[in-house]
A and B are shown apart, each in its own frame.
Chain A
């Protein structure tokens, strides 16, 4: 079945710097790759997603890139702010389309 690896597990940056989180997936049939942000004490919330027919997608300070050949996708956050501090999860839909398979998460800390 699908397996998603996420790196790094923790990431500390200074306010204003960029942050990059990388994920690889195993099932070449996967076609949907969302990113979720989880703030302390809350459930995960979708921040951006990308489908396999697109190589890059951007939404203000957040961008996601997808390399289907290499089976990896990345989250890029520019001009980081303290409120970006959270746990970020990447995910890929399984082949049956019945579930999201999540990476283990990245704890991002943005210090001012």
Chain B
């Protein structure tokens, strides 16, 4: 089944404790992206990647890192999480490197930073 998977689905952590949210897609997509979703703010892009070893900042990159060592994986790293990073996170992928085509979203990771 073609899908985007994220792990973990739920995470409660404390300020400053490094964490990684994994994202994997099995559709051989070139483009991958991370979004955060907050009430009243919609979805905002954190980072995106157009191919292996090619990543760039989105609209809200502060406090986050990403890597794209393999085509299928695009982990999101929070080196020192803070409470303002409490949010619902979505990974997405699409076939083309341009943004003007369907993006497939993962099921989401709900992160709480205490």
Contacts and interface: CB of A to CB of B under 8 A. Distances in A.
Interface in B66-105: 90, 92, 98-103, 105
B33 interface: yes
Contacts of A46: 102-103
Could you say which interface size class chain B belongs to?
A: 20 to 34
A31 B101 CA distance: 11
Contacts of A93: 98-100
A96 B50 CA distance: 12
Contact of B108 (A42, A89, A96): A42
B45 interface: yes
Interface string A1-27: 100001000000000000000000000
Contacts of B45: 99-100
A103 B41 CA distance: 8
Nearest to A33: B100
A93 B98 CA distance: 9
Contacts, number: 62
Contact of B56 (A42, A44, A98, A104): A98
Given A102-B43, A104-B41, 12 more contacts: A32-B101, A34-B102, A34-B103, A41-B107, A41-B108, A43-B108, A44-B43, A46-B103, A49-B102, A98-B50, A100-B99, A100-B103
A54 to B, nearest CB: 13
27 contacts: A1-B59, A6-B42, A32-B99, A34-B102, A34-B103, A43-B92, A43-B105, A44-B90, A45-B105, A49-B102, A89-B43, A93-B98, A93-B100, A96-B99, A98-B50, A98-B56, A98-B98, A99-B45, A99-B58, A99-B59, A99-B99, A100-B43, A100-B45, A100-B99, A102-B44, A103-B42, A104-B42
B91 to A, nearest CB: 8
Interface string A48-84: 0101000000000000000000000000000000000
